[in-house]
Amino acid sequence: MENIFKKILIIHAGGIGDIIMFTPALKILKNNFPNSAVDIFIGYTPIAAEVLRGSEIINRILDFNFPKSNFFNKIRFIYKLRKEKYDLIIVASGVNPYKGSLLAFLIGGKNRVGEYKKSKCLFYTHQVKLNGNSHKIEANLNLLKSLGIKTGGRTPSLFFTIGNDDEKFAEEFIKKNNLRDKILIGFFPAVGSKQQFKKWPEENFIKLGKIVLDNFPKTAIIIFGSSDEKNLCLGIKDGIRRNFVFTANNSLKQAAALIDKCKVCVSSDCGLGHVASTTKTNLVIIFGSTIPERTGPVGPKVHIVEERCRYRYHDIFTPKYDMNKKHQCLRKITPEIVFNKIKEVLCK
């Protein structure tokens, strides 16, 4: 089976968390075809490419911004990929089946694998009926099963590739801020600009920070966010009004290296939560309108705090979901509830 697929393309439209949830499938794919060149096209969230940049599994990352490109640039891009003559194209779970299958067909892969909803897609050669109740990790493994690839036994762990320079950055951050004798706790308050319905309220992070520092004076809090989220992070820092509260607006890989130094991280449902699940830190992640059984981080150090919402978001079955709706479910998860979970972890 090793020589069947010499050139493989993955088509992925998700964000940081979705890419991380695809990594077990990538490992199995590479284990079965160790001599194959595996390319991945990340077409909607270019920053998500950082998850795999530097990985030995991936041959090339194609982070062409498909939605923001004009028609002629899209055609040029597709024509460029056609010339690669891929033996296998896998369209990841969660990609629109009709758009994904058409794109795979236009690129010209000999074998084209993906999901379908109600009726099978004309352009796939191998396809799996989408099971909306399965976790995305399992859904992606099911795509490999359709090719006869065995995925049984222990599922490979998630991974996020960081380099020596990123680890040095984390060490220097700790040294510069005199944090060597502190227990580090990370806060991830930000979510995607179009996913504000996932966000645990800012005032809750402020109150939680005060409770943590009152009860564990040897801790320090690091608030993580990108440069676009700087004002949110600074607002929480100013609200806590204590020493040993820091903000980190760094690259995704630098953030991952620093997260690995934390004892506990507290997160809204966001990409950094999935990044944390690949590190040694304990992750306390807050769910309300989203479904952890479908898209939640997994791992032995993941602790989910959930208040089930009556109006739930599903990445496939709620295409007209009201992204601007304010949810009371997240407000029902109080700082005290989250602190009790943190205390469980710190006192083990």
The string of DSSP letters for 245-270 reads EEEE---HHHHHHHHTT-SEEEE-SS
The residue type of 322 is: D
Helix (H, G, I), strand (E, B) or coil at 52: coil
pTM of structure: 0.92
The identity of residue 115, as a single letter, is E
Identify the pLDDT of residue 3: 60
* Residue type at 258 in one-letter notation: L
Query: What's the CA gap between 236 and 284, in Å, rounded?
Result: 18
From CA 297, how far away is CA 342, in angstroms rounded? Answer: 17
Question: What is the reported pLDDT for 2?
Answer: 52
Segment among 45-49, 259-263, 326-330 with least mean pLDDT? 45-49
Report the SS3 class of residue 144: helix
How confident is the model over 306-328, as pLDDT tens digits?
998 989 998 888 888 888 887 88
Amino acid at 248: A
State residue 224 phi and psi, 5-degree precision.
-95, 140
The full DSSP string for 289-319 is SS-HHHH---STTEEEEE---SS---TTT-T
CATH of 7-145, one of 3.60.20.40, 3.30.450.20, 3.40.50.720, 3.40.50.2000: 3.40.50.2000
Q: What angle do CA 253, 16, 51 make, to 5 degrees?
A: 40
Q: Is the pLDDT of residue 1 over 80?
A: no
Going from N- to C-terminal start, the domains of the chain cover 7-145, 164-346
> At 246, which amino acid appears?
F
Under 8 Å between Cβ of 169 and 263:
no
Q: Are 305 and 284 in contact (CB under 8 A)?
A: yes
Rounded to an integer, the average pLDDT of 303-308 is 94
What are the backbone angles phi and psi of residue 86, rounded to the nearest 5°? -70, 140
The predicted pLDDT at position 46 comes to 74
Q: Are 7-145 and 164-346 in the same CATH fold?
A: yes
What is the torsional sign of CA 17, 21, 27, 33?
Answer: negative
Residue 202, helix vs strand vs coil? helix
CATH topology of domain 164-346: Rossmann fold (3.40.50)
Cα angle value 62/64/66 (rounded, 5°): 130
Q: What is the pLDDT of residues 130-179, one digit of tens each?
A: 888 899 999 999 999 999 998 877 777 888 888 899 999 999 999 999 99
Query: Which percentage of the chain shows pLDDT scores above 70?
Result: 99
Is 93 in contact with 140 (CB distance < 8 Å)?
A: yes
pLDDT, tens only, 73-128: 999 999 999 999 999 999 999 888 899 999 999 999 999 999 998 889 989 999 99
Q: CB under 8 Å to 334, separation ≥6 — which residues?
A: 204
24-to-49, 101, 136, 157, 222 alpha-carbon distances in Å: 16, 22, 11, 6, 29
